[in-house]
Amino acid sequence: MERRHGWKVEPEWISTTHGIVNAVNLIVQAFCEPGDKVVVQSPVYYPFFGAVTNNRCELVHNRLAKAGERYIMDLDSLARQMDERTRLLILCSPHNPGGRVRNREEMTALAELCLSRGVLMVSDEIHHDLVYQGNTHTVLASLGPEVARRTITTTSASKTFNLAGTMTGNVIIGDGSLSRRFKLQAARCGITMPNSFGPLAAAAAYDHGEPWLKELLTYLKGNHDRVMEVVDREMPGVTSMPLEGTYLAWLDFSGTGLSMDEIVRRVQEDARLALNHGRTFGPGGELHMRLNFACPRSMLENALERLVAAFKS
């Protein structure tokens, strides 16, 4: 983390969970009471929603705005939505599904707003190593001591190195009181140690995987560019959001004039592809589909051919 992102992490800050979805649920349980408000910035990774509502808290959608072809945070709207019942803000950085790698100025503005309202920040940074050249990931907790004291950072080797099946996630908390509170909640849920294989896999990935990661990012950028090229040239009415990171294309079908049900039918029945439905990502995801292009180029080409054929009419 220090080498790649300029943030020095002390070992005692780290708690290990059975994945990041598990971690976010534990965080909501540890720091919220039923009826408290938790803010998410939709459209966003949909398991956040259940982590809030299943723990009897109120889910608040702070809709992302669009500036040109990319998403930006609407901090004016966020300021209006926060009140005395707002306990947490869950941030997805880099953003899934929009692929934004937010700059230091954006992150600082968000942190200052949350600090002024006493809102604890939960920063899901699981895609932090999947950032394309020309973009720099900013760890939220690295912005200064005051921000670090009010930030919980979640990471994992799972996205970068395809290790999701190992069920190993990191919850990094520099503030001692917050860390003790989180660890107590994990213990109440019987979560003490990870499985035997997960830490070995993560350590092997971090110790030996950087040369592979460098090649991976080049390959993924080629896949990203190919998606953009095909969609722009051969799919009128469809756009793909330019990505700064991740391996998840965010396809906007709103220009086709088709309903969401018809879009899904063509993708699943005609193209026979398993894309994520945009509406599951919350407000702003309507008429979108998410395509995972972390695959061999030949597989992607086949998928794109089928997708183009499904929407020719």
What are the angstrom distances between the C-alpha of 40 and each of 52, 80, 200?
9, 14, 33
Task: Assess contact for 289 and 263: CB atoms under 8 A.
Answer: yes
Torsion, CA 128, CA 130, CA 133, CA 139, rounded to 10: 0
Domain with CATH 3.90.1150.10 in the chain: 211-310
Domain with CATH 3.40.640.10 in the chain: 2-207
* Dist CA 269 CA 253 (whole Å): 17
User: What does CATH list as the number for 2-207?
Assistant: 3.40.640.10
Residue 106: other Cβ atoms inside 10 A: 16
Q: In the CATH scheme, what is the homologous superfamily, with its name and number, of domain 211-310?
A: Aspartate Aminotransferase, domain 1 (3.90.1150.10)
Peptide bond into 43 cis (omega under 30): yes
DSSP string, the chain: -HHHHS----GGGEEEESSHHHHHHHHHHHH--TT-EEEE-SS--THHHHHHHTTT-EEEE-PPEEETTEEE--HHHHHHH--TTEEEEEEESS-TTT-----HHHHHHHHHHHHHHTPEEEEE-TTTT-B-TT-----GGGG-HHHHHTEEEEE-SHHHHT-GGG--EEEE--SHHHHHHHHHHHHHTT--S--SHHHHHHHHHHHH-HHHHHHHHHHHHHHHHHHHHHHHHH-TT-EEPPPSBSSEEEEE-GGGT--HHHHHHIIIIIS---PEEGGGG-TT-TTEEEEE--S-HHHHHHHHHHHHHHT--
Task: Assess contact for 59 and 38: CB atoms under 8 A.
Answer: yes
Q: What is the pLDDT along the chain (313 residues), one digit of tens a residue?
A: 999 999 999 999 999 999 999 999 999 999 999 999 999 999 999 999 999 999 999 999 999 999 999 999 999 999 999 999 999 999 999 999 999 999 999 999 999 999 999 999 999 999 999 999 999 999 999 999 999 999 999 999 999 999 999 999 999 999 999 999 999 999 999 988 888 999 999 999 999 999 999 999 999 999 999 999 999 999 999 999 999 999 999 999 999 999 999 999 999 999 999 999 999 999 999 999 999 999 999 999 999 999 999 999 8
Q: Whole-prediction pTM value?
A: 0.96
